[in-house]
Chains A and B, each alone.
Chain A
Amino acid sequence: GAGVSQSPRYKVAKRGQDVALRCDPISGHVSLFWYQQALGQGPEFLTYFQNEAQLDKSGLPSDRFFAERPEGSVSTLKIQRTQQEDSAVYLCASSLEAGFNEKLFFGSGTQLSVL
């Protein structure tokens, strides 16, 4: 498939566990974004990569959240010591061009449930 792929589709974690969420962007896309979508809400920006450089992490809610994109393609969002308030859908989006441009393609997300 040519779309943005995210895995796992669902993740259940016990409070205090660490989790890692994966995003495979569309091949060749320069920009990659992570968003958090709480139930019944719109997506909230977490962080932005241009190739392997993390240019904006202003939306990460705490230092328990960490994202990387070491080779400028696949990205991983890691959440340490998960809390119940971390329960949400985590969306990844990519775009061909650099910057916060207009054509974002979203994956189907990872639904994280922290018990």
Chain B
Amino acid sequence: QQQVKQSPQSLIVQKGGISIINCAYENTAFDYFPWYQQFPGKGPALLIAIRPDVSEKKEGRFTISFNKSAKQFSLHIMDSQPGDSATYFCAARTRKLSFGAGTTVTVRA
């Protein structure tokens, strides 16, 4: 049973556009919400993370928006670049990390 539901499964965006990936959870014991980026043939790499007492966190072109009451959080990739083409996973932690199913992002030049 997946504890974190992620959507969409895939998306295509033009260079310079905005990519938005959404995640939802039920377990209110989650205390840390990271996003991981994975390129083909590589392991996931931590991209950005947020705690539930913060509503937004921005690092460069990547922003997490967090809605505690709705139990939802999202990743926004601004000014998307071809090098951003990868699979993105949201995750949530209690004692261990639970990952979403992933979103494959394709940025067209």
Seen from chain A, the residues whose Cβ lies within 8 Å of a Cβ on chain B are 4, 40-45, 48, 56, 59, 91, 93, 100, 102-104, 106-109
B83 at the interface (CB under 8 A from A): no
Most B CB within 10 A of own CB, among A43, A93, A107: A43
Select which of B42, B45, B93, B101 is within 8 A of A42 by beta carbon: B101
Which listed residue (A42, A44, A100, A108) contacts B43, Cβ 8 A? A108
Q: Please count how many residues in chain B sit with their CB below 8 Å of the partner chain's CB atoms.
A: 24
Known A41-B101, A42-B102; contact A108-B96, beta-carbon cutoff 8 A: no
- Name the A residues within 8 Å of B32 (CB-CB): 102
Q: Are B97 and A100 in contact (CB under 8 A)?
A: yes
Interface residues of B (CB under 8 A from A): 2, 4, 6, 32, 34, 41-46, 49, 89, 91, 93-102
Q: Say whether B41 contacts A108, CB under 8 Å.
A: yes
A106 and B96 contacting across the interface, CB-CB below 8 Å: no
Q: Is the CB of B89 within 8 A of A4?
A: no
User: What is the CA–CA distance of A48 and B93 in the complex, to the nearest angstrom?
Assistant: 14
Q: Which residues of B contact A48 (CB under 8 A)?
A: 96
Closest Cβ neighbor of B32 among chain A residues: A102
A42 lies within 8 A of B99 (CB)? yes
Shortest CB distance B29–A (Å):
12
A-B contact pairs, 12 of them (CB 8 A): A4-B43, A40-B101, A42-B102, A43-B44, A56-B95, A100-B93, A102-B32, A102-B46, A102-B49, A106-B43, A108-B41, A108-B43
